[in-house]
């Protein structure tokens, strides 16, 4: 059986995209955790966190909860440098009074 026939008219390989079934869609949490080992990918991931979460981090207990959830993902990578960078970069964005109370 030969599959050497030309592509259908109007077919453009540049416009094709892989469509995965829902069961195969990559888990963003796993991708985030995996990015922590590579400094460039980590910087990109942290830039996205800052862009999307900066204002939410300042929202009292809800912001602290979000921060702790994201920090747990970074900690799951077991990359100490990534954890330190995350804390240094995002802890100042938290409601500092609530954060002090939460740490006691």
Q: Please state whether 60 falls in left (phi above 0), alpha (psi between -120 and 50) or beta.
A: left
Give the integer Cα–Cα distance in Å for 102 and 79. Answer: 24
Spans of all domains in the chain: 24-103
DSSP for residue 15 = G
Which pLDDT score is estimated for 9? Answer: 62
Q: ∠85-95-89 over CA atoms, to 5°?
A: 15
pLDDT in tens, 20-74: 445 444 588 899 999 999 999 999 999 999 999 999 999 999 999 999 999 999 9
pLDDT single digits (tens) 68-95? 999 999 999 999 999 999 999 999 999 9
| Cα distance between residue 42 and residue 47, in whole Å | 8
Give, in order, the Cα–Cα distances in Å from 47 to each of 3, 90, 96.
45, 11, 21
pTM of the model: 0.73
CA angle 31, 102, 50 (to 5 degrees): 35
């Amino acid at each position: 059986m030969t599959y050497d026939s030309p592509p259908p008219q109007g077919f453009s390989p540049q416009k094709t995209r892989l469509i995965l079934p829902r069961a195969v869609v990559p888990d963003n949490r796993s991708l985030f955790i995996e990015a922590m080992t590579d400094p460039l990918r980590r910087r990109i991931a942290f830039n996205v966190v800052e862009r999307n979460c900066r204002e939410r981090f300042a929202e009292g207990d809800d912001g602290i909860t979000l921060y702790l959830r994201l920090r747990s993902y970074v900690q799951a990578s077991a990359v100490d440098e990534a954890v330190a960078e995350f804390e240094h970069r995002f802890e100042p964005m938290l409601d500092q009074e609530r954060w002090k109370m939460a740490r006691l």
